[in-house]
Amino acid sequence: MAEILTLREAVQRFVNDGDTLALEGFTHLIPTAAAHEIIRQGRKDLTLVRMTPDLVYDLLIGAGCAKKLIFSWGGNPGVGSLRRLRDAVEKGWPQPLEIEEHSHADLANAYVAGASGLPFAVLRAYAGSDLPKVNPLIRSVTCPFTGEVLAAVPSVRPDVTVIHAQKADGKGNVLIQGILGVQKEAALAARHCIVTVEEIVDDLKAPMNACVLPAWALSAVCPVPGGAHPSYAHGYYERDNRFYQDWDPIARNRESFTAWIDDFIRGTADFSAFQEKMGQARLAAQEAE
């Protein structure tokens, strides 16, 4: 049953060294604040799972939190490479990173299997693909009814899933609006689920067919306004395209990256303090132009 906690309390209680951790959110509602807090608390040896690793995992990998990445695409959307991911894979900095690559359809089905309590997922995929040659976990099974050969992959069952949503009520029920990725499936597949939200309200006022995650399926709900920045939160704020563009030169160099996270993440008490510091830095930069 979900408890209303601060993000610091939730990470302290539920995220441990060596865990398999999924931070999900597609295009918007990406749980950036949670990634920051995991870095602040110095978690390490994490196996990270995400369908589209972007800046949140570049941060976690560069900060030395990760030992393995399970993914189905990776990049800085609209800009280019994830510099810290690439440095870890190619040169082992700040430590070697094991990678396990899947297709989007594969990983989405693996989450569904995990949420269903099944050991593996079956899908019609990979005909003519070379991906099974580099990922031995992509295997095949023969349908006992038709004889068709299908792809099979292990289910994804994280120790902890973290997502961001628009709002929760006082009982811990959560409403997600706008584009849905695999947040629901990732939440139900996990042993624990932390949800950061823009606000806590008396009544969700959920429309018909809305995605509502019940409190009994969650471990913690944490109010963190703006917690998806620089991605957008449908109905609350827009995507900060400039941040994605500015990230590339910061992350390109080990020294500039380390200085940035020491200043803006490790050097701030929480995401609210980070937002204030970022705002001051941007204002100073504008005045200097």
- What share of the chain has pLDDT > 90, as a percent? 94
CB distance 207 to 39 below 8 Å: no
- Give all strands (DSSP E) within 95-191, no chain letters: 98-101, 120-123, 139-142, 149-154, 160-169, 174-176
Mean pLDDT of 10-35: 97
**pLDDT confidence of residue 287:** 79
CA–CA separation, 79 and 271 (whole Å): 24
Choose among 14, 78, 93, 24: nearest CA to 53.
Answer: 24
Model confidence, pTM: 0.96
**pLDDT confidence of residue 264:** 98
Per-residue confidence band for 285, with pLDDT thresholds at 50, 70 and 90: confident
CB distance 74 to 86 below 8 Å: no
Per-residue confidence band for 112, with pLDDT thresholds at 50, 70 and 90: very high
pLDDT beyond 80 at 115: yes
Structure token pair of residue 76:
């800085």
Q: What is the pLDDT of residues 174-212, one digit of tens each?
A: 999 999 999 999 999 999 999 999 999 999 999 888 899
Q: What is the pLDDT of residues 229-243, one digit of tens each?
A: 999 999 999 999 999
Q: What is the pLDDT of residues 56-81, one digit of tens each?
A: 999 999 999 999 999 998 999 989 99
Mean pLDDT of 81-105: 97
Kindly report the average pLDDT of the chain as a whole number.
96
pLDDT beyond 90 at 220: yes
CA–CA separation, 20 and 45 (whole Å): 9
Mean pLDDT of 35-46: 98
Mean pLDDT of 125-138: 94
Mean pLDDT of 156-160: 98
Strand-pairing partners, residue 4, are: 221
Which has the higher per-residue pLDDT, 171 or 128? 171
Tell me which amino acid residue 199 is.
E
CA–CA separation, 56 and 78 (whole Å): 15
Query: Is residue 136 packed enough to be buried (19+ CB in 10 Å), middle (13-18) or exposed (0-12)?
Result: exposed
**pLDDT confidence of residue 165:** 98
Other CB atoms within 10 A of residue 287 CB: 7
Mean pLDDT of 37-41: 98
**pLDDT confidence of residue 214:** 96
